[in-house]
């Protein structure tokens, strides 16, 4: 089984990034889920909903919780989830990072985490 992935982002980010990554890779969407937090959302309700979703994932191979912006409301919810569930936590999601996460899902947890962060950083270039 692959590493479980759970995304906590601002409204529209996870769904749009995933739709693009899916078009590029055309891989099955298994053992992953996301929540998008709208502006002004009730944090407790969103956190409770996220907990229920994570409990449904197969975490036997590990769990990575990914967010878009560290210190934001989604980032704070993601950090709370990471404190509750044994997991690795990554912030700063971008398309290159997501492609790595989906492409290398069968890697061990720490290896996948390192590849995702590397992909995210290497996807940012200045010429």
Instruction: Output the pLDDT for position 122.
Output: 96
pTM, full prediction: 0.96
How many CB atoms lie under 10 A from the CB of residue 96?
18
How would you classify residue 15: left for phi > 0, otherwise alpha for psi between -120 and 50, otherwise beta?
alpha
| Domains of the chain, start order | 4-122 (3.40.50.510)
> At 1, is the pLDDT very low, low, confident or very high (cuts 50, 70, 90)?
confident
> At 84, is the pLDDT very low, low, confident or very high (cuts 50, 70, 90)?
very high
């Amino acid at each position: 089984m692959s590493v479980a992935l759970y995304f906590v982002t601002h409204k529209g980010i996870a769904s749009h990034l995933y739709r693009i990554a899916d078009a590029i890779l055309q891989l099955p969407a298994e053992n992953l889920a996301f929540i998008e937090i709208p502006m002004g959302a009730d944090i407790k309700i969103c956190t409770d909903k996220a907990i229920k979703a994570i409990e449904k994932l197969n975490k036997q191979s590990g769990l990575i919780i990914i967010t878009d912006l560290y210190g934001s409301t989604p980032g704070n919810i993601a950090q709370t989830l990471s404190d509750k569930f044994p997991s690795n936590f990554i912030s700063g999601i971008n398309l290159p990072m997501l492609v790595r996460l989906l492409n290398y899902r069968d890697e061990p947890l720490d290896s996948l985490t390192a590849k995702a962060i590397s992909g995210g950083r290497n996807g940012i270039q200045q010429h």
